[in-house]
A and B are shown apart, each in its own frame.
Chain A
Amino acid sequence: MPTVSMTVNGKPVTGEVEGRTLLVHFLRDKLHLTGTHVGCDTAQCGACTVHLDGKAVKSCNVLALQANGAKVTTIEGLATNGTLHPMQEAFRDNHGLQCGYCTPGMVMAAVSLVKDVPNPSEDQIRHGLDGNICRCTGYHNIVKAVKAGAQAMGGK
C-alpha cells in the first residue's frame, strides 16, 4: 500500500493508504480526527471542509495521496492552547450551531471566507457560504456569527 505524509494541525504524520482513500477518511480513520464530518457523497454539503495549504477544500473530494507533503488544518487545529479561535467563539456567542454536525465545516469555510473578504457584508456571507449546508439554524445566526467572527479576526 502507498504511504502518505503530511502535516496535520502542525504535526507531521505518515500513514499507509489505498489509492482510493479520501483525505477525510485518512483524517477520521487513521488519525482519529473525527471532528471532520461526512455529510454527503457528491461533494455538496461541505461538512468535511478542512484547510489544505491554507485553503478551504472538501476533504471528501481530495485523495489522501493528493495531500502528500501538504499542510492540513482541521477543526481540531483551529483553537490554540484551549482558546477558541475568534470564529469558533463567534459561533458560540451567536448560537450559530444546533446539532453541531455541519459546524466544523461551516467554521472552516467561514475562516476561509474571511481570509478572502476581510469584512464581508451579509450578502457576501450568504453567497460565500454556498458550499456548506446546514439543516438546523436557518443560517440566520450563522450569518450573524460570521459577521462577528470576521470583526473579531480583524481582517486576519
Chain B
Amino acid sequence: MHDFAYHRPSSVADAVKALGSASDGKLLAGGQSLLPTLRQRLAEPSDVIDLGAIAELKGIKVEGDGITIGATTTHAEVAASADVKKTIPALAVLAGGIGDRQVRHRGTIGGSLANNDPAADYPAAVLGLGATIRTNKREIKADDYFKGLFETALGDGEIITAVHFPKPEKAGYMKFEQPASRFCLVGVFVAKTKAGLRVAVTGAGPCVFRSKELEAALGSNFTADAAKAVKLKADGLNSDLHGSPEYRAALISVMAARAAAAAG
C-alpha cells in the first residue's frame, strides 16, 4: 500500500479534527475491509485516522426497549454479548456469522456500516430492524442511511458513534454465502417490529434494500411457506460468476423462508 500519516486520537472530537486537516483522510475502525483495499492500492489516503483508542465508541448497552452498540464494538463482542443474545438473538447470530473468527475479532459494526459493502451482513440487520445510526452530528434512520453501492448518508467529517436497535417481537437472519469469499451472495433479515413487518435483503443488489413483496407476504402470514411462495423479479439484482440475478431472486425467497423459520 502507499504510505500515509497515521493518527490515533483518543476522542471523537480529535478524530474529527484530524480528518478535517487531512487532504484525503480515511477513518480506520477494525480495518478488515479498508486494509485489504489499501494493500491492493485501490485507495491512496494521505492520512489514516485510527478510531481504535476512542473509549466512547466502544461497548454494548441495553437502552430503553432496545440495545445500543458502540461503533467500534467488534463482531465477536456483539455475537458473545448476553444482552444482545437476550434482546435480539438474531443480531447475535448475524454478528457471529460475519467473515471468520479472526475477522470477527477485529471488524466493527461502525466500520461495516460506514463502508456499506453490498455483500456485508450488518446492513441487513440495521435496515431489517429499523435501527438508528448515531453520528457525532445527528441520528439517521436506517431507511434514510443506505444510499447505494458503497454510499451512505454520512457527510464530510461525520463519524458513526453508535447504532441503536429497537427490540423486535421476533426476528431471524439467514444468509447464503458466496462460496469463495463467503460474503453474502444473499442475506435476508426478517423482523416483526412495532412499526410493522420488515424484510431487508443484502448481497443481492447494489445496496441493501427492503422487499415489499416479502413484507406483504410475511406480514399477513409469518411462515416459511408464505415467504417461499413469493416469486421475486430479478431486475436490478447483481450478476457475477457466482450467480445470476435470477438465482439471487430465487435465493431471496428461500433465505427469507429460512429466516422466518429461524425467527420461530
A interface residue numbers (CB < 8 A to B): 2, 18-20, 22, 41-44, 46, 49, 52, 55-58, 60-63, 65-66, 68, 109, 112-113, 116, 128, 130-132
Contacts and interface: CB of A to CB of B under 8 A. Distances in A.
A65 B32 contact: no
B5 A109 contact: no
Contact of B31 (A42, A61, A132): A61
Interface of A is mostly: mixed
B2 interface: yes
B210 interface: no
B101 interface: yes
Given A43-B36, A43-B103, A58-B102, A66 B3 contact: no
A131 B52 CA distance: 23
The residue in A22, A43, A55, A132 that gathers the most chain B C-beta atoms within 10 A of its C-beta is A43
Interface string B15-52: 00000000000001001100110111000000010101
A62 B35 contact: yes
B181 interface: yes
Interface string B80-107: 0000000000000000000111110110
A20 B40 contact: no
B18 to A, nearest CB: 13
A1 to B, nearest CB: 10
B50 A58 contact: no
Given A20-B3, A68-B8, A61 B35 contact: yes
Contacts of B99: 131
B101 A131 contact: yes
B233 interface: no
Nearest to B47: A19
A109 B32 contact: no
B9 to A, nearest CB: 13
A109 B106 CA distance: 14
A40 to B, nearest CB: 9
Contact of B6 (A49, A52, A63, A132): A63
